[in-house]
C-alpha cells in the first residue's frame, strides 16, 4: 500500500530544498517512490533528471503513466528494484545530487545501512531528505551531516548533507 507524502509536507520539503540550493539541473534519486510525487515535484522545479525506485510493479507502472501524462518521461526513469535485496544499488547509475527517501515506516530503521550502500552513487554535498515516523530519531552514517530534523504531526523529515571523508593523500616516493 502506498502512503503518499501529504501536500503540506511535500511543499515544506520542496521549500527547504529550495533554501539549500534548489533543484535546478540536479540529478534526483527518489527511493521508495510510491506515487512518484517527490521526484515529479523536483522535475517541475527544474531537476535535470530523476530516477524513481519502487519495488511494487503496479505502483511503478502508475508512476510511468504519471510521468508520461505530465510530459516528463524524457527526464525520468522508473527502476523496479527491491531496495532490501542484495546488490540493489548495482542497478542504479549516479551521481545524484538530491535523494528522497520515504520508506514504509516499518522499514525506516534500515535507511542508514541503505545510505551507506548507496554512498558511491552520491555526489559530494548531495542533499538527503528522509521522511520517517516522528518517534524515530535516526542517525545516519559518519559521512552524513544532519542539517535539521523537522516534525510534521506523525511524520518527521531529516535533512542531511553527504560529506564523504576526504581521501588522505599518499606521499610520493622519490
Q: 54-77, pLDDT tens digit by residue?
A: 999 999 999 999 999 999 999 999
For the stretch 78-117, pLDDT in tens is 999 888 777 777 778 889 999 999 998 888 888 888 898 8
Cβ–Cβ < 8 Å for 72, 48? no
Can you identify the CATH homologous superfamily of domain 7-15+23-162? Vaccinia Virus protein VP39 (3.40.50.150)
pTM, two decimal places: 0.87
What percent of the chain shows pLDDT beyond 90? 51
Q: How far is CA 98 from CA 20, 69, 106, 145, 159, in A?
A: 11, 24, 23, 14, 11
| Domain boundaries defined on the chain | 7-15+23-162
Mean pLDDT across the chain, nearest whole number? 86
- Cis peptide upstream of residue 95 (ω within 30 degrees of 0): yes
Amino acid at each position: 500500500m502506498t502512503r503518499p507524502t501529504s501536500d503540506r509536507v511535500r511543499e515544506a520539503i520542496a521549500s527547504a530544498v529550495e533554501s539549500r540550493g534548489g533543484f535546478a539541473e540536479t540529478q534526483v534519486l527518489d527511493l521508495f517512490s510510491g506515487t512518484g510525487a517527490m521526484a515529479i515535484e523536483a522535475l517541475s522545479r527544474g531537476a535535470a533528471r530523476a530516477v524513481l525506485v519502487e519495488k511494487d510493479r503496479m505502483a511503478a507502472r502508475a508512476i510511468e503513466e504519471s510521468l508520461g501524462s505530465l510530459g516528463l518521461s524524457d527526464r525520468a526513469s522508473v527502476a523496479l528494484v527491491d531496495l532490501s535485496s542484495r546488490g540493489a544499488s548495482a542497478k542504479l547509475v549516479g551521481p545524484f545530487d538530491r535523494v528522497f527517501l520515504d520508506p514504509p515506516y516499518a522499514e525506516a530503521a534500515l535507511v542508514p545501512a541503505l545510505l551507506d550502500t548507496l554512498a558511491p552513487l552520491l555526489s559530494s554535498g548531495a542533499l538527503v531528505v528522509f521522511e520517517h515516523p516522528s518517534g524515530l530519531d535516526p542517525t545516519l552514517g559518519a559521512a552524513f551531516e544532519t542539517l535539521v530534523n523537522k516534525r510534521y504531526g506523525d511524520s518527521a523529515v531529516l535533512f542531511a548533507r553527504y560529506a564523504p571523508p576526504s581521501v588522505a593523500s599518499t606521499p610520493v616516493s622519490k
